[in-house]
A = this chain, B = another copy of it.
Amino acid sequence: MTTQMMIELIAVLTAVRDDVPQVMTIDHGRLLPSGPLESTHRSLQAGVRAWVERQTGHPIGHVEQLYTFADHDRLLGAEQGRMIAISYLALTRSHAGETGWRDWYDYFPWENCKTDAGRDCLTIIERLLCKWVAGMDNAAVRVRQWQRCVTLFAIGDMVAWNDELVLQRYELLYEAGLVAEAGCTPESTVPGRAMHHDHRRILATGMARLRAKIRYRPVVFELMPEEFTLLQLQRVMESLSGVHIHKQNFRRLIMQQQLVEETGGIEEHTGGRPARLYRFCGEVRQARYLAGTKIPLAQP
């Protein structure tokens, strides 16, 4: 009855470079950093850190658990028992061009609504989903699924785009047969890079978690350099969420929450008036850290 299991640790390691969110990959972008839990690992987190740091050389800041999977897809041999995958979200500061980093939006172009490429991709998806539901026999099912498409992809502006529904959107596209999870279908009809196994889905889970978390916890600062201007901070937030932010309101909210303090330094090369430099000071203000953070994320 009871079977022994193999445990695999998988990391969605994210950094932001030149205002583009990136994820660490191996195998030419087809796999996330991952490896089996070993007896030398003192804990699951330690195991993830070991695997990731072996591949990047970076110390990782924030690490948090994402999800534990054990689908029947993940069966090993009949006698060997099942494979269980424990996934983690890890954040690190900007890197100096090591290999393995790939843009988030290479895998999920439709999630980058800020850019023309993202909007074009959404147009394609809209048409394909329309065709998908049109081909359904049952009218009630057709209506319900179209409703789902409309809310998830904000079709027709009836509903606002919700940037946190990365996973739900991916799963809808997967159900509709518009993405190839295993990468073995070269005629995948929606733009975007595929990954092996369910790694693309795990990446979606990590993106969704991070987009949700930056709204109420000051985790963005794990991705920022020691000193930064407020516009740099805003650009990072925007690139992660894929949504525009009203500049003046963003500053207002950041300042009034006292998450940052001036370093006294000035960034000269802004292309305009020089900007003040700030540093994160929420670590010491533990009260505020636990109380949570608010970020204004407006619609395009």
A265 at the interface (CB under 8 A from B): no
Residues from chain B with Cβ under 8 Å of A3 in the complex: 37-39
A1-57 interface with B by 8 A CB criterion:
1-7, 36-40, 42-44
A79-136 interface with B by 8 A CB criterion:
81-82, 84, 86
Q: Is the interface of A mostly helix, strand, loop or mixed?
A: mixed
Contact of A4 among B81, B86, B147 (CB under 8 A): B81
Copies per complex of this chain: 2
Inter-subunit contact B6/A7 (CB<8 Å): no
Contact of A2 among B37, B70, B158, B287 (CB under 8 A): B37
Residues from chain B with Cβ under 8 Å of A69 in the complex: 44
- Closest B-chain residue to A287, C-beta based? B151
Looking at the assembled complex, report how far the CB atom of A252 sits from the nearest CB atom of chain B, in whole angstroms: 22
A150 to B285, CA, bound (A): 12
A298 at the interface (CB under 8 A from B): no
Inter-subunit contact A290/B152 (CB<8 Å): yes
Looking at the assembled complex, report how far the CB atom of A292 sits from the nearest CB atom of chain B, in whole angstroms: 8
